[in-house]
């Protein structure tokens, strides 16, 4: 995300900030969906305040030697600012199949 990372447990409200992004990083064993939603909404607000995109980066601690991916979480509003539309809004007329699908090739 090309952002400066602040030291852990330093008391900063955000864990990273760059030219485009601002956000928090969470390394957790468990994080409820409601808690993740609250974090994403908070970072969306922080992003608006600073004219940046707010994100939450989550890394699940699964135990020693167990690799887990980083998840980058954005609200729908932030995603739309980034991409302009949702993946389901591909600009085609409803009911028109994607190229390469069985419905399109007949």
Q: What's the pTM value of the predicted model, to 2 decimals? A: 0.73
Six-digit token string for 55: 């994100």
Least Cα distance to 4 among 52, 13, 74, 15 occurs for: 15
Mean pLDDT of 79-99: 70
pLDDT in tens, 23-54: 999 989 999 999 999 999 999 999 999 999 99
User: Of the given ranges (36-40, 55-59, 62-66), which has the lowest mean pLDDT?
Assistant: 62-66
């Amino acid at each position: 995300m090309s952002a400066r990372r602040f030291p852990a447990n330093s008391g900063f409200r955000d864990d990273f900030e760059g030219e485009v992004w601002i956000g928090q990083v969470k390394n957790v064993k468990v994080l409820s969906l409601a808690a993740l939603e609250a974090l994403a909404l908070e970072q969306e607000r922080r992003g608006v305040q600073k004219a940046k995109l707010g994100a939450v980066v989550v890394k699940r601690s699964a135990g020693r030697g167990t690799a887990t991916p980083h998840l980058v979480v954005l609200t729908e509003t932030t995603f739309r600012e980034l991409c302009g539309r949702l993946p389901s809004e591909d600009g085609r007329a409803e009911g028109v199949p994607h190229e390469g699908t069985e419905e399109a090739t007949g």
